[in-house]
Amino acid sequence: MIQVEGLTKYYGNFKAIDSLSFYIDAGEVVGFLGPNGAGKTTTMRILTGFMPPNEGTATIAGYDVLDQPLEARQRVGYLPESVPLYKEMTVWQYVDYVAKLYNMRNPIRANRVDEVLDQVGMIDRADSLISSLSKGMRQRVGLAQALVHEPDVLVLDEPTIGLDPGQVREFRELIQQVGKEHTVLLSTHILSEVEQVCDRVLIIHNGQIVAEDRPDALSARLQGSHRFKVKVGNAKPEAIAEVIGGLPGVINVTSTDDGVEVLSEEEQDTRPAVAAAIVGKKWDLLELRPLDMSLEEIFLELTTNDRQTYEEEG
């Protein structure tokens, strides 16, 4: 449904994406996971016909985005990073306006606007001004305008960014719903988001795809590394570091303002030994908490340990 081959884009001399190739099957919900500046938006703008690539090809439902732009655009709905919503329009007027841009005619158009607003849970706000909506509601309207022309493919660029936790949950549920009937490419820099929503994840870093996996397999791979924080009531970080640093399996201990961070060998849980050592010193153990990996650390891990495996697997 989406086929990308050797896609490369330069901004001036800067190569933002570097011969990207991937394929997304009809009905798949695929996560595009990468840190800031990885090239997610650039790729999505090419796929949705907003920008030409310098090299390579991209097709949507068999239509080349460069050679058959109208056919390709008709089959893709796009929720950009920031949706250009017209604040002085009502929700209904805005979605109707977008539908007109796709040459939809009445009475089909009006019915379709109602239908899509119902689908995204905004039908009861159809007559509200866009300026009066919360961020979460605006994202729903953004999704409605992406869906209104009944595209096969949906491209969603960081759709939950800036929403509060409740809105994030609701919007993810909506994406899951929509994903049952569409092929979806969704970008994010949140690992848990792809776990919840996606069938497959493409990991992009510095304009290249560095790994591809099922989200559960990806999480399993990353769980091997143990990093945790230890906070002790009545000892100095240097003293703690000295005691913990000598334990088997502990690779490194770094002092922080309010405790220490411990890095231990993969597949060796050193937490019980660390706790015992602290209690044995009659210090108060206030906190022993796993530290989440930052995306940068995840990429480092994937690109240094697993890239080879991935390439071997082909």
Ligand X SMILES: Nc1ncnc2c1ncn2[C@@H]1O[C@H](COP(=O)(O)OP(=O)(O)OP(=O)(O)O)[C@@H](O)[C@H]1O
**Residues making contact with ligand X (CB under 6 A):** 11, 14, 16, 34, 36-42, 189
Contact 17, 8 (CB under 8 A): yes
**252: its two tokens:** 């490194």
Largest CA distance in the chain: 78
CB 31, min distance to ligand X, A: 13
The contact pattern for Mg ion, residues 28-47, with x = CB under 5 A and - = no contact, is ------------xx------
CB 191, min distance to Mg ion, A: 17
Q: Which is nearer to Mg ion, 96 or 193 (CB)?
A: 193
In the region spanning residues 221 to 280, those forming contacts with Mg ion, defined by CB under 5 A, are none
CB 177, min distance to Mg ion, A: 24
User: Which of ligand X, Mg ion, none does residue 56 bind (CB under 5 to 8 Å by kind)?
Assistant: none
Q: How far is CA 183 from the centre of its chain?
A: 16
Q: Which is nearer to Mg ion, 40 or 125 (CB)?
A: 40
CB 184, min distance to Mg ion, A: 17
User: Which of Mg ion, ligand X, none does residue 16 bind (CB under 5 to 8 Å by kind)?
Assistant: ligand X
What's the burial of 108, exposed, middle or buried (CB within 10 Å: 0-12/13-18/19+)?
exposed
User: Which of Mg ion, ligand X, none does residue 205 bind (CB under 5 to 8 Å by kind)?
Assistant: none
d(CA 72, CA 210): 27
Q: Which is nearer to ligand X, 76 or 204 (CB)?
A: 204
Beta-carbon contacts of 264 under 8 Å, excluding residues fewer than 6 positions away, are 226, 227, 249, 250, 251, 270
CB 224, min distance to ligand X, A: 26
Looking at beta carbons, which residue is closest to Mg ion? 41
| Pairing, β 29-33 against β 183-188 | parallel
3-state SS, residue 202:
strand
**278: its two tokens:** 């602290």
Residues that bind Mg ion (CB under 5 A): 40-41
